[in-house]
């Protein structure tokens, strides 16, 4: 009698335990990132927190860069999940982009090191050092952001929009998202230099939200 089913069950259990261990490792990496910045995230520090040897950690991640890649993908997942939840629950199409900007701010304002790791590390270091490579961008991060902009386009375009209007609304959504990213970048700089911005966070959020919500309400198309 074949023991193939039993082998498959054991294999599934092993893979489940391995995935659980990977999640625990990435959670510890995020905790170290929060408490000490990206410099605190090393294989040795993560292994120490988990009571593992550094060599044992290699069973799950072959290098620090591989671990950081997985951590960044997890951070992006968390961001996209948060934004999608807000967009789906926004009551009026005219408020969606303002809600997006505020949700992006809320998600990162107390996690500036997470923001810097996702959006700023690749600008400071080579792809290998930052843990972000072309394959990660193409295969893991870009598909997640496309899901976000597909939903935004659907929410703010309306069922009667033609192709040109939908393209414009998608561009508007992308511009709103990059504006939120720019705001968080400036707040990150202000935090790092202990030099607060002239305008309050709330004033900046209100202004950005008003601009993009007004653009949706007017459905103004750019000149061709």
Q: CATH no. for residue 180? A: 1.10.357
Domain membership of residue 100 (yes or no) is yes
In a shared domain, residues 70 and 51: no
Asked if residue 133 lies in contact with residue 176, where contact means CB atoms within 8 angstroms, the answer is no
Return the pLDDT at 2: 59
- The residue ranges of the chain whose pLDDT is under 50 are 128, 221-224
Residue 35 lies in domain: 1-62
Number of domains in the chain: 2
In a shared domain, residues 82 and 135: yes
Report the C-alpha gap between 14 and 19 in whole angstroms: 9
Return the pLDDT at 221: 46
What is the overall mean pLDDT for the chain?
86
Return the pLDDT at 9: 64
Report the C-alpha gap between 127 and 79 in whole angstroms: 22
The radius of gyration of the chain from alpha carbons, rounded to an integer in Å, stands at 21
In a shared domain, residues 57 and 70: no
Return the pLDDT at 10: 65
Domain membership of residue 112 (yes or no) is yes
Return the pLDDT at 217: 86
In a shared domain, residues 18 and 31: yes
Q: If you search the block for the tokens 């069973």, which residue do you land on? A: 59
In a shared domain, residues 72 and 113: yes
In a shared domain, residues 87 and 6: no
Report the C-alpha gap between 82 and 62 in whole angstroms: 30
Domain membership of residue 47 (yes or no) is yes
């Amino acid at each position: 009698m074949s023991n193939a089913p039993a082998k498959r069950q054991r294999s599934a259990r092993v893979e489940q335990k391995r995935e659980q261990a990977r999640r625990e490792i990435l959670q510890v990496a995020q905790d170290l990132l929060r408490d000490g910045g990206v410099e605190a995230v090393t294989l040795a520090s993560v292994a120490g927190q988990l009571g593992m040897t550094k060599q044992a950690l290699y069973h799950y991640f072959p290098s620090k860069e591989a671990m950081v890649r997985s951590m960044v993908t997890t951070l992006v997942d968390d961001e996209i999940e948060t934004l999608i939840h807000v967009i789906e629950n926004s009551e009026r199409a005219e408020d969606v982009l303002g809600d997006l900007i505020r949700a992006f701010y809320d998600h990162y304002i107390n996690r500036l090191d997470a923001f810097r790791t996702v959006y700023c590390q690749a600008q400071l270091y080579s792809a290998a050092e930052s843990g972000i490579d072309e394959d990660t961008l193409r295969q893991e991060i870009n598909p997640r952001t496309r899901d976000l902009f597909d939903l935004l386009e659907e929410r703010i375009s309306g069922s009667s929009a033609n192709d040109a209007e939908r393209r414009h609304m998608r561009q508007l959504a992308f511009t709103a998202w990059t504006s939120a990213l720019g705001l968080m970048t400036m707040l990150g700089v202000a935090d790092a230099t202990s030099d607060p911005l002239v305008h309050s966070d709330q004033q900046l959020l209100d202004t950005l939200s008003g601009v993009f919500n007004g653009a949706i309400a007017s459905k103004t198309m750019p000149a061709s």
